[in-house]
Chain A
Amino acid sequence: MGKNDTQYALDDLLIARMAKEFKGDEIVGAGGTLLSAISAVLAKNTHAPDMIISGGSLNLFDSSFMPTLGISEFIGVDKAKANLTWIELFDIIFHKKFLIWVGAAQLDRFGSANISLIGEWHKPKAMLVGARGLPDDGVQNEKMMYHVMKHSKNTFVEKVDFVCSAGFTAKREEMGIDRGQPAVVVSNLGVFDFDEEKRTMRIQSLHPGVALEQVVKNTGFELVIPEDIPETEPPTAEELEIINRIDPLGIRKLERADPEQKNKLVLEIMKNEREYIENRAF
């Protein structure tokens, strides 16, 4: 993919777009997917220098973070500012000082999200990892941000199989939940937000080269479609330069690699990680 004279991959565009949701407040920012984890680091290196990146390990709080396959908790040892406990981390969350991109397995039009399993809870068709911190974030965070790696009718569904975080539902009203509203969704096809009146998902922008029909065809519910649909802004040359610097292992390429490519990449990255540790480049 390329536009004007700047060459970039879809990964770079997604990272740059997701980085923009971290506005620069003195908060803890994190990404639950590889690309969104890099987006938090990009934000810190551009418009959000006061942000604290979470992702390595709580004992290396507010240190440098680099996305890796297996060595993240070993990076930034000399830059750590505190040895945080999980109780303190949750106090930070309760004070709305934590923002995270969640890698959703399923989303519905109201922004209810599922990461736990596919199928019926008592006997799932496919167990994923469990609800993890989503039922915490979904009632505490300033806003919810979702990254969907593959936009399809399996991910953008009429009804999520298991609600880990309630979108704009009757239950949200009934329970008096006034935080954790779904705010933004980034997929490989576009960026989506929520219509203020209907409270359902709306197209905000489509990535360069993506047709509206492609999105409609791959979404399992009716999207709110505005009259004018802008193109998602491509990454700048400066952003691309920084992305290369903060992801020296090329972890970002893993998320969209096909299985065969992926195995090769994993082995390569593992070797490079080992060298990284050996050379004490951190």
Chain B
Amino acid sequence: MADKRMSIEDVIGQIKPGDTVAIGGGGMQRKPMAIVRAIARSNLKDLHIVSFLGGPDVDLLVGAGKVRAVTFSYVGFDSAGLAPNFRRARQEADLDFFEGSEYIIISGLEAAAKRLPFFPTRSGLGSDILEVNPNCKVFDAPFTGEKLVAVKAIEPDVALIHVNYADPSGYGQILGDVFIDNIITKASKKTFMTTEKLVSTDFIEKNFRTINILRLWVTGVVETPYGAHFTSCFPNYLQDMMHVGVYLKAAKSKESFREYLDKYITDYDNLNYIARIGDIENIKVTSP
């Protein structure tokens, strides 16, 4: 089987300015933050980010000036509050925004995963989403004539996900909420997967009932411990509430956020970053 191991630099090298990039995880859970940080540090720009439940992924990239458009149903820090950089961009009407509902975004990605031009749903009927999102159109259903919404296929160039275990061939296992990582891998032209731990194919065979990601969709695998920090990665670590506080404070202005980026994200090495965070023991969870 092909060996798809690569470095974060290699991943960055395969993303182009202007690309549409789908990001896995949801809110404060299992975001592929190591790659997100690497993009923030790279020369990439003008990205169109697709994140159905966005969190620090969207917020950090918007704050780093890497984004031209965001497709989302939600961007927030869950119980820690709102997403400051995203809000600022939204309120200054800086970027293009495509707002959907959860299922509208899923529908667009499902269409792409199924190689269809659109996907039908009732979601959004009667709402103002239909007034502001040009990728949603009401149509009369064949056979019944009822009103439905057609959601245009969302076809990302790249999907980025973070998993608990992956082997060099590209099989991946997600132990927590999968969110729609399995869908974005099929909707996107290429998928890059960071993993808490690289395992042998033997491990995958022993766990075949719970493998979520197929190697068919995966272009590259990068072993990246703490790759989701400061979001959580069940069952290994909690979201880092202390660092969330640091981040939210820094993100109060564009200037102080620039200082945050310069302080914490100096290179592509995730373990360097983790070392700068300090007390990582605080978020570790020993599996029962």
Binding site for B on A (CB under 8 A): 57-59, 68-71, 73-74, 77-78, 83, 85-87, 90, 93, 116-117, 121-136, 138-140, 162-166, 169, 171-172, 175-177, 270, 274, 277, 280
Asked if residues A57 and B177 are in contact (CB atoms below 8 Å), the reply is yes
Q: Does B249 contact A (CB under 8 A)?
A: no
Taking a contact as CB atoms closer than 8 A, the residue among B91, B123, B124, B177 that contacts A59 in the complex is B177
* Distance A125 CA – B90 CA, assembled complex (angstroms): 9
Q: Does B235 contact A (CB under 8 A)?
A: yes
Contacts of A134 in B (CB 8 A): 101, 127
Asked if residues A123 and B73 are in contact (CB atoms below 8 Å), the reply is no
Asked if residues B127 and A165 are in contact (CB atoms below 8 Å), the reply is yes
Decide: A132 near B73, CB < 8 A? Known: A58-B178, A71-B238, A90-B103.
yes
Taking a contact as CB atoms closer than 8 A, the residue among A68, A77, A136 that contacts B101 in the complex is A136
Contacts of B241 in A (CB 8 A): 69-70, 270
Asked if residues A139 and B125 are in contact (CB atoms below 8 Å), the reply is yes
CB pairs A–B below 8 angstroms (5 shown): A70-B241, A90-B102, A121-B128, A135-B127, A163-B128
Contacts of A139 in B (CB 8 A): 122-126
Contacts of A132 in B (CB 8 A): 53, 73-74, 101-102
Decide: A70 near B238, CB < 8 A? Known: A57-B29, A177-B125.
yes
Taking a contact as CB atoms closer than 8 A, the residue among B90, B106, B176 that contacts A117 in the complex is B90
Known A73-B234, A74-B232, A135-B127; further 10 A-B contacts with Cβ < 8 A: A59-B234, A70-B80, A74-B238, A122-B132, A123-B91, A132-B53, A132-B101, A135-B129, A169-B126, A270-B241
Q: Does B87 contact A (CB under 8 A)?
A: yes
Asked if residues A129 and B82 are in contact (CB atoms below 8 Å), the reply is yes
Chain A nearest CB, measured from B7 CB (Å): 30
Asked if residues B238 and A131 are in contact (CB atoms below 8 Å), the reply is no
* Distance A137 CA – B114 CA, assembled complex (angstroms): 24
Contacts of A93 in B (CB 8 A): 103
Binding site for A on B (CB under 8 A): 28-29, 53, 72-76, 79-80, 82-83, 86-87, 90-93, 99-104, 106, 122-129, 131-132, 138, 146-147, 175-180, 182-183, 210, 232, 234-235, 238-239, 241, 282, 285, 288
* Distance A186 CA – B239 CA, assembled complex (angstroms): 31
Asked if residues A85 and B182 are in contact (CB atoms below 8 Å), the reply is yes
Asked if residues B129 and A131 are in contact (CB atoms below 8 Å), the reply is yes
Asked if residues A280 and B102 are in contact (CB atoms below 8 Å), the reply is no
Decide: A70 near B127, CB < 8 A? Known: A77-B288, A85-B182, A129-B76.
no
* Distance A166 CA – B124 CA, assembled complex (angstroms): 9
Contacts of A166 in B (CB 8 A): 125-127
Asked if residues A135 and B123 are in contact (CB atoms below 8 Å), the reply is yes
Asked if residues A131 and B101 are in contact (CB atoms below 8 Å), the reply is yes
Which chain A residue lies CB-closest to B128? A163
Decide: A70 near B90, CB < 8 A? Known: A86-B106, A163-B128.
no
Which chain B residue lies CB-closest to A58? B177
Contacts of A124 in B (CB 8 A): 90-91
